[in-house]
Structure 1
């Protein structure tokens, strides 16, 4: 990453990354005041310095963004009560900062977030039944739409039984 840069150029680039001021970065890197005034913007155009700065910026950005694994690990720590937060508590002698474990509502919220990502339809009979019902309702709606449009295959002799009243669809029409 810093291949081809002199020590001064590397210091310039690192200082520039701190505050974005090319003139101050050049001074801190050891360039003269006159050179810094006249050439600091040219230093930023140097291909080696520019690629060094770009690489460092992308490294900094990637460290700022949490990965999905980090997020799931955080939710799991909250769910288990392992994560703590500092809260200010008022007492007789004034306010003090204490560490507090997640409250039940926080733990339940973490559990919901985890379950959004890892539903256990196969392990939860109630959820599996809800999914089966939704699928059946979708199949019925699709069949009715085809029937109204006349798209149902004439050879398909399947009779649709409506779940209300147990009669064949269209029997009372």
Structure 2
């Protein structure tokens, strides 16, 4: 593998964008269309694709971040019951909330105000977007397809009749 291809691998790992990686690695692209072509060509080369796979595996091992862990975290957000996290009487976080339940919390704000009539506490507990987590899990499972994939092995015969009318 050349030094420029190795640089492409390093740049690709930043954002997984082959076009931008080709540009940043110094390939003379001229325009984004050509940079896209160069990036795709590099991804097809076995040494480059193997280097990318190896680097991604090493990064996953080093950081502990992998697909299973991401899916587990999304599931924690998607399937939480808010009643197990938030005390509905005073909008506080329940003392008996589990670690899995607490993972759904995006932010907590507590505002204490003193006034003539005494003090008051205003609380706001925001949960992560449950619908977005469900959407991402559904996409992962292949539930929501924007395009139809057809994988078939059949013969197709198309007959085109020019100038003929079937109406009689």
TM-score range, shorter chain: 0.3 to 0.5
- For normalisation by structure 1, the TM-score amounts to 0.35
TM-score between the two structures when normalised by the length of structure 2: 0.35
More helix by share: 1
The answer to which structure, 1 or 2, has the higher relative contact order (CA under 8 A, 6+ apart) is 2
Structure with more of its chain in strand, by fraction? 2
CA radius of gyration, larger in: 1
